[in-house]
Amino acid sequence: MTAALPPAVFHDIVVMPGGAIRRDGHRSIDAGPLWPDFDQQTWVRQCYAGRPVDQAPAPPDGPVAVLDRPAVWGAPLRPHFGHLVSELLTRLPWSLQGRPDDAYLFATAPGQRPGPAFQTLAAWFGLASSQILHVTRPVRVATLRVWPQAEQLDHGAPEPAYLDLLDTIAARNGLVPAKAPLLYVTRDGLLARGKGGHAGEHHLVACLSRLGVPVLDPATAPLPDQLAHYAGAGRIVFAEGSALHGRQLLGWRAQQIVVLNRRRGARTAAAALQARCRSLTYVETARDVILAPPHAGRQRPECALSHYDLAALFAAFAALGVDLAPVWDMAAHDAAVAADMAAWSTATARAEVA
């Protein structure tokens, strides 16, 4: 098993703090290594859809710490599970295979906490907390290695060898698949936190539970449990969202994946998932979409509330051998919709004025 590209090695290089991806209408990162000939560099920089999206950090204007032990470049950090899995931490698996004992550098804004998702994922990949160095002030590194991003958002399928490596990591973590013919992965409860979702999903979850379909809530299930369920399911139905990226922590399975879209036309993680399963289908299950109020002048389509297209929803499950009609209660559904709309309106209004 070999990486697609060997690492690049840099000497006497400064790494700058930061980490936040600015949300001003485009992706931009101005933290991390001050690569020599910055504008001429390609894959060592942070890439999205096959092109670099970072900017050269401003050089330090004060004291610079010195790190004289071998180090590996990790990523600029953002406390969001989906982005960590799909683009920010995809250098780690190959890096840890090549340099398992080095220090790993992550650009972090001063005062910023990396968040529990980062800690969980680092541990899953096999990176010890003692190896993690959060760059919160400029540091000069004697020797810095960097491996390619094995995956990027919106940029084709990963190499088969990378998928094999992910399964090797899963085996090392003692993953035991939780066998099930069908699994539903929910976003129920996230509307009340001001996040996007289908109003009334709580009733869908109740109906599926009555029909004996296992329901997984990634917001509460530990990562190893999530991956055990993903590994063992013959068919997975995802409520469209960041949980899709959790499936990227595993390799190929003879599996069918169905995504219930809450945003029309979304193809979240399509290339990544197609490389990992036998069949991938996106179903347009949003009848209408209500956008959240702007926050700090920015539109937030990811926080929109959607109403189910019930005909499309029922048809999607019927195609999987699940008949929702006998257990569906329109009054209970309507009550769940009303509760979700009220909770979402309160949460998004609070975010608007925060």
Q: Cα(301)–Cα(29) distance, rounded to whole angstroms?
A: 21
Per residue in 159-173, pLDDT (tens digit) is 999 999 999 999 999
**Domain membership flag for residue 42:** yes
**Where a domain ends, among 126, 155, 184?**
155
**Domain membership flag for residue 163:** no
Is 354's pLDDT higher than 50? no
Supply the pLDDT for residue 299: 86
Q: 136: how many CB neighbours lie within 10 A of its CB?
A: 16
> Which stretches of 137-178 are DSSP H helices?
160-172
4 pLDDT band, cuts 50/70/90, is low
Per residue in 25-49, pLDDT (tens digit) is 445 688 999 999 999 999 999 999 9
Domain count, the chain: 2
Q: Which domain holds residue 136?
A: 8-155
Supply the pLDDT for residue 20: 52
Supply the pLDDT for residue 246: 98
**Domain membership flag for residue 1:** no
**Where a domain ends, among 98, 122, 155?**
155
Supply the pLDDT for residue 121: 98
Per residue in 281-299, pLDDT (tens digit) is 999 999 999 999 988 778 8
**Domain membership flag for residue 61:** yes
Q: Are 85 and 245 in contact (CB under 8 A)?
A: yes
The verdict on 38 and 183 lying in the same domain is no
Q: Are strands 103-107 and 286-290 parallel, antiparallel or unpaired?
A: unpaired
Is 87's pLDDT higher than 60? yes
Question: Which residue, 226, 209, 208, is CA-closest to 217?
Answer: 226
Q: Which two tokens stand for residue 101?
A: 């004992």
Supply the pLDDT for residue 28: 64
Q: Cα(168)–Cα(52) distance, rounded to whole angstroms?
A: 29
Farthest CA pair distance, the chain: 69
The verdict on 184 and 332 lying in the same domain is yes
Q: Cα(323)–Cα(328) distance, rounded to whole angstroms?
A: 9
**Domain membership flag for residue 212:** yes
Supply the pLDDT for residue 124: 99
The verdict on 339 and 226 lying in the same domain is yes
3-state secondary structure of 126: coil
Q: Cα(156)–Cα(219) distance, rounded to whole angstroms?
A: 28
**Domain membership flag for residue 314:** yes
Least confident window among 166-170, 197-201, 213-217, 348-352 = 348-352
145 pLDDT band, cuts 50/70/90, is very high
The verdict on 151 and 265 lying in the same domain is no
Supply the pLDDT for residue 133: 97
Q: Cα–Cα distances in Å, from 187 out to 103, 156, 201?
A: 36, 26, 8
The verdict on 216 and 317 lying in the same domain is yes
Question: Which residue, 292, 266, 308, is CA-closest to 354?
Answer: 292
The verdict on 237 and 130 lying in the same domain is no
The verdict on 191 and 313 lying in the same domain is yes
The verdict on 137 and 61 lying in the same domain is yes
